[in-house]
Amino acid sequence: MAYSEYLANRVRNSLKNLNSAFSEKRMFGGLTYMVDEKMCVEIIKDDLMVRVEPELQEEFLKEEGCRIMDFTKRPMPGYLYVGSEGIDMDEDLDKWVQRCLDFNPKAKSSKKKKK
C-alpha cells in the first residue's frame, strides 16, 4: 500500500466541500492533489503532506501531528507532514486543506519538461 485510500477519499471530499477544482496525480509513491496545475496536498502512506506558506511553518509545527517533511532527507520550506492524530477529525483535515488552498495562488509551479 503506497497510500491510504481512506485518507484519499477524505481529501477528495474536503476539496469538493471547499469548492476547489483539482486533479489527482500519482507522484513520489503517493497520491498528489493538484490545484491550478500545482502540487497542493499529497498523501504518502498514512500521512498528509501539506504545502503551506513557509513563513507560517514554525507556527504550524506546534500543532498536533505536524512535523517537518524530510522525504528527501533535507527539509524543504513550506512542506510539512501531518500524521493521523492531526487530521483525525474532518474539521482538522479541512483546516489543513484550506491552508494549502490559501497558499496555492502564491506557490510556484514546477517547470514543465520539454518534449
Q: How many angstroms separate the CA atoms of 24 and 101, rounded?
A: 15
Query: According to the model, what pLDDT value does residue 64 have?
Result: 96
Residue matched to cell numbers 476539496? 15
**The CATH number of the domain where 37 resides is what?**
3.90.1150.30
Ranges in the chain, pLDDT < 70? 1, 71, 111-115
Residue 113 in any domain: the answer is no
Residue 115 in any domain: the answer is no
As for how many domains the chain has, the answer is 1
CA atoms within 13 A on the CB side of 51: 18
Query: According to the model, what pLDDT value does residue 1 have?
Result: 53
Look up the domain containing 40 and give its range: 5-106
Left, alpha or beta for 96 (phi > 0: left; psi -120 to 50: alpha)? alpha
Residue 75 in any domain: the answer is yes
Query: According to the model, what pLDDT value does residue 111 have?
Result: 62
The model's pTM is 0.90
Are 35 and 22 in contact by the 8 Å Cβ rule? The answer is yes
pLDDT, tens digit, 9 for 90 and up, residues 71-103: 677 888 899 999 999 999 999 999 999 999 999
Query: According to the model, what pLDDT value does residue 109 have?
Result: 83
C-alpha cell at 113: 519538461
Q: Is 72 exposed, middle or buried (0-12, 13-18, 19+ CB in 10 A)?
A: exposed
Q: Chain centroid to CA 102: how far? A: 12
Are 88 and 17 in contact by the 8 Å Cβ rule? The answer is no
